[in-house]
Chain A
Amino acid sequence: MMRVLKEPLGAFGIALVLLMVGGAVFADLLTSFEPSRISPRDRFQPPSLDHLLGTDHLGRDLFSRVLHGGRIALSVALFATATSLAIGVVLGLVAGYGPRWLDAVMLLLFDSIKSFPTVMLALALVTLFGPSLTAVVVVVILVNVPGYARIIRTQTLALKGSEFVTAAQSMGAGTVRILRHHIMPNVISPLLILASMDIPVVIAIEAGMSFLGLGVRPPTPSWGSILNDGFTAIRDTPWIAVAGGLPIILTTLGFTFLGETMRDLFDPRLKRRE
């Protein structure tokens, strides 16, 4: 972690991520405005000391909505990524280590899921279950799991025949033990970096679905729905769109910088001569 801080890009990424996480965690302390309290008298206020990011068409404080929206964006992103990681790792290990026919069946499944465009998948699920946070999480998991599982599967296949796996077998380790103690520690770290680079994608999916009205229901604040609110009035009151777009951009940048720095540091092939 110290090595990440030494890289300027990594330090900047961490700072951005901490800024967004801090804002989401301490939202109630940072602003006295209720995120969903409507006050028609204050509608379309430009940014001021009172309303740091201005107000929207219902007079709601945008700064408060952005902070509270961050809670949703970040918790969905973290929860959905962690869940897809867990499912992806298990499926990948099973496909890579299991019998060949199971591998073939699972690959077919992964590829079929992957071949759906994300938006189509989202629309289909929302049609089935109605717009909700759960729909967002399910979409994210469906989109991410095949990729993770494929990576783990390939690495598991490569390690399956390695000598230390044979050695572990000859020392009496069973299949579950070998997968958990010997193969997983070898394959998990590149995936963790990949997942941290996927977090911004998840945030974008959540924002995108909320923008389209497929995700979080109003009046719950979400960056995507703020963006949508601002979109309709972008000529007269551009700050609403800015308030919705800025956190998405900053968080995405933060996680991407962080992930790229980690990848560069931990991938020996990219290591610079020191």
Chain B
Amino acid sequence: MTVLAIKGLNVTFSTEGGQLHALKNVSFEVPERRIVGVVGESGCGKSTLINAILGLLADNGSVDAGSITFEGEDLTRLGAARMQELRGQRISTVFQDPMGALNPVLSVGRQMRNIQYRSGRSRNEKDARSEAMLRQVRIPDAQSALAQYPHEFSGGMQQRVAIAMALMMRPALLIADEPTTALDATLEVATIELLQELQQDIACSVLFISHHLGVIAELCDDVVVMYAGEVVERGTTRQVFHAPCHPYTRRLLECDPARQSGRTRHLPTIPGEVPDLRHRPPGCVFATRCDQRVDACDKTPPDVAVAAGHVARCVLAAAR
């Protein structure tokens, strides 16, 4: 069963400098009970992807083509009311900065009660559920935590509160937008473990956005590599990390500081710059920075299935 299936998704923003193609022909699936990681550098369209799924694109952005199928419904065609019903109930989100994502002037208990407003439960039942949920994310003294305000918690606890809120309605899909980026390394591990445990427990799928390759390798079942608004490679974590088929993925993995064996003064980088998304190059979007460039790269590259479930958008992938 597939919870979320994105097919040929194009998203453009109309800006003063012309049409900006933020997402181009994006396709991937999030199967049931699996954790799918989306990795890519800043500005590669990760946030646009989330907003497109949630139906919260800015006013100047629009979905031009493609479909986002969630539990059998195409989210791109859904009315605002139905979309609003799904958000928070079937699809929920954890954000990067927990301090910013929690309302500073409302107590945690009140915010958690707010989320359950469509459940039709009584106030006491809602509070009991909130408390149970906080206990599940290991907030000590959950009962008094309900009366506290976000700033009274540490960063790690805030993020766990945010996770508790996101999972309270037992969604089918949890979108985690770099949930560990604002945390330090120890907390990052703890949060990852907690997410894993809760995912098992609630049996939901997770779309995990990150630029931290180590976290993705640790947590995710499948990986989607994005570059300049395109999915350049996707497959299981094992396939992508052990047998990367797209030059970008290979370079990205080479640049991971965790993979540097010796001491270096300079961390490796990928030379060149991400193309201006208002003027996409006609062929492969990575061609200008690619060290294996061939003539065929001037044409739109095909999605090549390298192995079962492993797809790379590169002309060279077929030859391998």
Contact = CB atoms under 8 A, between A and B. Distances in A.
Q: Indicate, yes or no, whether A interacts with B.
A: yes
Nearest to B168: A171
Given A164-B101, A167-B102, A174-B84, 16 more contacts: A163-B95, A163-B101, A164-B102, A164-B103, A164-B104, A166-B56, A170-B175, A171-B88, A171-B115, A171-B165, A172-B85, A172-B86, A173-B84, A173-B88, A181-B106, A185-B105
A177 interface: yes
Contacts of B166: 171
Contacts of B115: 171-172
A162 interface: yes
Given A162-B100, A177-B117, A170 B106 contact: no
Contact of B56 (A162, A163, A170, A186): A170
Contact of A170 (B87, B97, B105): B87
Nearest to B81: A174
A164 B86 contact: no
Contacts of B175: 170
B93 A170 contact: yes
Interface string A184-201: 011000000000000000
A163 B47 CA distance: 13
A170 B175 CA distance: 10
Interface residues of B, number: 27
Q: Which 6 A-B pairs have the closest CB atoms?
A: A172-B88, A163-B100, A171-B88, A172-B87, A167-B101, A170-B93
26 contacts: A163-B101, A164-B100, A164-B101, A166-B95, A166-B101, A167-B93, A167-B101, A169-B54, A169-B56, A170-B87, A170-B88, A170-B175, A171-B87, A171-B165, A172-B86, A172-B87, A172-B88, A172-B89, A172-B115, A172-B118, A173-B88, A177-B117, A181-B114, A185-B106, A186-B103, A186-B104
Interface residues of A, number: 17
A208 B134 CA distance: 58
Contact of B114 (A166, A173, A186): A173
A182 interface: yes
Interface in B47-101: 54, 56, 84-89, 92-93, 95, 97, 100-101
Interface in A236-260: none
A162 B95 CA distance: 12
A115 B175 CA distance: 50
Main secondary structure of the interface of B (DSSP, over half): mixed
A118 B92 CA distance: 51
A168 interface: yes
Nearest to B93: A170
Nearest to A189: B105
Contacts of A164: 100-104
A238 B97 CA distance: 67
Contacts of A173: 84, 88, 114
Interface string B155-194: 0000000100110000000010000000000000000000
B174 to A, nearest CB: 11
Contacts of B89: 172
A170 B171 CA distance: 12
Contacts of A167: 93, 95, 100-102, 162
Nearest to A161: B58
Given A163-B95, A173-B88, A181-B114, A168 B103 contact: yes
Contacts of B97: 163
